[in-house]
Amino acid sequence: MDAAVEQERSFLARFPKYATVLESARESEFVRERLKRGAIHTEPFPYLWVEEIMSPELYELVDAAWPHIDWFPAEERHNRRDLVPRPPGITPKDKRASTYDDLPVPIRAVWDFFVIEINRAVVGPWLADVFKPAIDERLMLIERARRSGRATKDYYTPPYVPKMNVGRLMMRADGFRLRPHADALAYLATALYYFPGENESADLGTTLYHTERGIDEDAIIEEGRTVYFADAGITATPAFSAPFRRNSLLAFANCSRSAHGMEITTPGVWRRAYQSHLSIKSDRHHL
């Protein structure tokens, strides 16, 4: 963990008064104003694109506090690493959270603030409002699945209380590919925040696809998790590629047409993005 220790030292040297930036009212208001100015689109499915989502001061903190790769639990696939936050009082049942408690105090404090005060308390309610028609439709699908006995997990029991989950910090490298897919049934909306390095290409963003039709709701219910359009025999054509820009947010409603994916073909790059879902699951559930 030598590199991780050095990260803490350099972080404190650069931001000795970092805690003064973590002021909830001020930073939350900045994010709300940016969300108001964000571009909301309906095609190829409902999505929101916002640049400069955080204040420059907060973004610099969160970017600098991105944990060194040594803190990310190793996975079988060499080109992917995930780290799941565990702010106080939140205990996700996820092995990817195993090292979060051991992060240096300032690094963890910054991420706790971003995850709870910004993503959950501000962005989550905003997405619930702007994507309400699509979310209501998704909740009706969930209710039909519950009544038919095909959705049996305890979080499929009403009343449904959507909120942003703790998310995950994702690092992806050359050779990683995610085919066009729709997110799991319990996820109502998805949010992706980008944290590029100095020389990373804007092409490392997420692609949204136009599809000839949506995935059949029976297939979505049956899977209960990520569903791939190609597996359902549905053609997906690129419609919008979100540029991989610093301090930007891509969010979209999760519906039968929400085909999205990404691929990395650049050697020597670890693509950094934080992903969270507006979900009906509670914090005690796996993401």
pLDDT of 1? 57
Number of structural domains, the chain? 1
User: For residue 151, what are the domain limits?
Assistant: 2-279
The DSSP H or E segment spanning 164 is: strand 163-164
Residue 287 lies in a domain: no
In the prediction, which pLDDT does 76 show?
A: 85
**In CATH, what number is assigned to the domain containing residue 196?**
2.60.120
pLDDT at 250: 98
Q: Please report the pLDDT score of residue 286 as a whole number.
A: 76
Q: Which residues of the chain have pLDDT under 70?
A: 1, 223-224
Count the Cβ atoms, other than its own, within 10 Å of residue 148: 10
**What is the model's pTM?**
0.95
Give SS3 for 19.
helix
DSSP bridge pairs for 190: 252, 277
3-state secondary structure of 191: strand
Structural domain includes residue 285: no
Q: Is the dihedral of CA 250, 61, 35, 92 positive or negative?
A: positive
